[in-house]
Structure 1
Amino acid sequence: MPRLPLLAALFGGLLFGAPALAADVPLAGYGYPLDNPFEATIASTPPELRPELPSDDDIDQADYDLKLRPEREFELPENFWPVTKLRYRLAEQDGRAPLIFIISGTGASYASGKTEELKRLFYGAGYHVVQLSSPTSYDFMSAASRTATPGLSRQDAEDLYRVMMAVRAQHPKLDVSEFHLTGYSLGALNAAFVSELDERLRSFNFKRVLLLNPPVNLYTSVTNLDRLVQTRVAGIDSSTTYFELVLSKLTRYFEEQGHIDLNDALLYDFQQSGQKLSNEQLAMLIGSSFRFSVSDMAFTADLINRRGLITPPNYPIKEGTSLTPFFKRALQCDFDCYIVEQLMPYWREKYSGGSLPQLVDEVSLYALEGYLKKSPKVAVMHNADDLILGPGDIGFLRRTFGERLTLYPRGGHCGNLNYRVNSDAMLEFFRG
């Protein structure tokens, strides 16, 4: 019996699976132009539909380093010297202002594109802004993680919280009126756990916390993304690779246009052309990007902890050592492989962990359901067609957040974060 294709399941199961509530944004009048979640995820918002934001030249910002020296059982390999300090970015207002921390998504650094866009949005609205790398990024794992084994949400939140306190301590003269917190994708899940931790420790007393496109069930979300790599793509055979196929389409597109204009509108315009990528090709592109992030995380965790799963534990790693053969091996490891081979063994050893379902519950929003239900300062913005959502996820968000959930009808995974309607709604939430 043929299995239901993943793409059909994503299209059919997310858009029309539940009745509308007051928190749902109706499709009529929303105006976001991309009704294909794969295109939205990759191409984002057409430039003319984005808000006007300050340029980097108009922002008083700088990058800073933190020497955290986290207590841990391992020493960094010799070639990790560039990331022994954690780098972050601070944009300062002239005078007293609220401060917002932004946590980046899976594998992303503090300077990633979406984090930068959010920085410009909040800075333009009068906030001090601190940009932080994801706990799953190699720089955070090297310089700030006590275990270099990300994925345990409470542990990742504790690492992030120490970073936030160190950032505040490094800028004692920064005039802050109140603290806020946000994150997108996995960074949104991290923000939820950081908020709950702060509820107990009271170091920041965050006034408002906004979760942008968070995974509900972390295992479901990463499984959805992992499966996109397995999509069957027409035109790919033993003599033509996926990347050759995409490159040939781009070449023909540029020939038709007569020039190469690498600007923000490129992907959107490309998808309106005759060379547009199919849903299957878009799915593989999204899945490939995620696989690179996961492979980088698995490789870094294995190398730092000397587990010997990817890099032999006694292999001499020096500044000039080529790591390419080991990273190729890491590309064979999806998120399920990382969980089975690294995360679960560590969890069971250090925390007397149990089964996979127990781990999934512990690292997902389920673990915070009681806190999130009763905390009026925490809200969610999500998309009904988000690729990372699975059956029951939207229902959980509705039951847990009620009117604090804003559900947009389209946008894919974080594709509409820079749509001006969404941007206005974000600012309105933080202004109260």
Structure 2
Amino acid sequence: MAYHTSLFPRWRGISAVLLLCICQIASAKRVDESSYRYPYKNPYLATATVAILKDREQRYVWEETQHLDLELIPGRNDVYLLEGKGKLRIRYSPHPGPAPLVFLLPGFGGSAYSGAARYLAQLLTDHGFQVLSLPSPFHWNFTLGASRSALPGLTERDSEDMYRAMQSALNGVRERFHPEITRIGLIGMSHGALTAAHLSKLDSERKKIGFDATLLINPPIDLLGAIRTIEELADLETRYTERQRSNIQAYAIGTASGALRRDIEDPDYFAHWDRRLKLDDEKIRYLIGWTLRQPVGSSLYVSALVHPAMGFLRAPITWGYRSARLEEARSYDLMSYLERVLVPHLERTSKRKLGFEELVRESSLKGIAPALRDNPKVYLMHNADDFLVSGEDLTFAERIFGERAIIYPRGGHLGNLWYTQNRQDILTTLKPLLGDRSDER
């Protein structure tokens, strides 16, 4: 049988590409379940442990937190009913002497002072890093103080605003505290990891900051799928009366508060959470969905005050009466916000028609896959039982990141941040930042 010889080079090229993909999948690190001693096999229960993350009660002198308020957008400090609140609030955790600085981005709607952000900042400062924490694009303070549109949700645009805020924060820290910064890293958690992924692409193009290492922890991969899962969780509220919802929330807050009064250095701090949080799976799932939905209303409330003429919200509001407007804002979930507020606004203000699915696709991690694949300084940590990702998502992540990805068998969504092996892997990933400290910036 005769073969056309010109086909062989093409097939060799395709074979090389396939081999590369196979090698990348094979080289991604899947942590063996039998050796991973994380105690909670229920992903929702595991996720609930994030609620009791905090920094250590006893602190070293150099770890005293510093706070900075940055005025980034003229006029935002004078918005009606939000007067004096328009500066971006950031948190700086110093370390003495020459040390790398790590930017830290919390999960969806989190502030620079959220429990998980404080916990990771403490871990890093304990091991030779200084940390600069910023709020999520969906935190009301970022919406008011740093989002030029005051309408978050388009990741590319949010990342532009975050990048600008990070540069101002870095300059503010340098001018006020005069730190000796050797290298610069970036960690993002959950939605903050999605933002961090886009920031890594932006920084590789513009080189205004220079990230020497970026770690993405539990980012959503198929953003639309993650949004739908969040809505399914939040919609569980329809199974309960308003009084029942209030009781569930009050019980969970009380249980978490009881844990937070203990010293996190206690070996039993995270133990027996399944017995302490006496809620069934459905109630825990409802609480997770409720928690992830809250930031949308707070952010939209601010957006409507920044843009009163656009009529995003119609309930009356005055100095003495705000509850109706807050209730209207909180009626929005993420899907309805994107479809009814953000997409129509973008269609009115941009030169091209941007549909909902196109917006989500452009805002996803998959939308910048080539940049992530080609950047050896970007790393991933994820969990196989994270309910915001699918097996297909994780296969995609392994193919893109290769040996730069670690996939754990358990932990839910961010629920194993505190576990010994995860803590060590975070530090190992960032260890190159602690290398030769002589090349100070």
Q: Which has the larger radius of gyration?
A: 2
322 and 354 in structure 1: CA distance in 2 versus 1, 3 angstrom threshold: same
- Note if contact 2:140-2:295 (Cα within 8 Å) is conserved in structure 1: no
What does residue range 9-408 of structure 1 map to in structure 2 within 5 Å?
A: 22-44=28-50, 55=59, 59-69=63-73, 77-170=79-172, 171-172=174-175, 173-231=178-236, 236=240, 241-244=244-247, 262-263=261-262, 269=272, 271-272=274-275, 276-306=278-308, 307-311=310-314, 317=318, 320-351=319-350, 352-390=352-390, 392-408=392-408
TM-score by length of 1: 0.84
- Note if contact 1:42-1:286 (Cα within 8 Å) is conserved in structure 2: yes
Deviation digits for residues 2-59 of structure 1 (CA, Å, limit 9, x no counterpart): xxxxxxxxxxxxxxxxx98641111111111010011011124999xx9989737651
RMSD: 3.0
Structure 1 CA distance for aligned equivalents of residues 249 and 77 of structure 2: 42
Q: Which residue identity is paired with 1:114?
A: A
Q: Which runs of 4+ in 1 moved over 3 A?
A: 19-22, 44-47, 50-54, 245-251, 259-270
- Note if contact 2:317-2:324 (Cα within 8 Å) is conserved in structure 1: no
What's the offset of the Cα at 1:231? 2.7
Structure 1 CA distance for aligned equivalents of residues 252 and 156 of structure 2: 44
20 and 271 in structure 1: CA distance in 2 versus 1, 3 angstrom threshold: farther
Q: Secondary structure at the match of 1:387?
A: coil
Q: Which residue identity is paired with 1:175?
A: E
Structure 1 CA distance for aligned equivalents of residues 341 and 187 of structure 2: 28
Q: Which runs of 5+ in 2 are unaligned?
A: 1-24, 433-441
Q: Secondary structure at the match of 2:235?
A: coil
- Note if contact 1:75-1:304 (Cα within 8 Å) is conserved in structure 2: no
**Identity %, equivalent residues:** 29
Deviation digits for residues 112-142 of structure 1 (CA, Å, limit 9, x no counterpart): 1000011001111111110101111111111
What's the offset of the Cα at 1:330? 2.0
Aligned residues, how many?
Answer: 398
Q: Secondary structure at the match of 2:246?
A: helix
Structure 2 CA distance for aligned equivalents of residues 120 and 220 of structure 1: 33
Q: Secondary structure at the match of 1:82?
A: coil
Q: Secondary structure at the match of 1:80?
A: coil
Structure 1 CA distance for aligned equivalents of residues 77 and 121 of structure 2: 34
Q: Which structure features the higher share of helix residues?
A: 2
TM-score by length of 2: 0.82
- Note if contact 1:181-1:191 (Cα within 8 Å) is conserved in structure 2: yes
Q: Which residue identity is paired with 1:415?
A: G
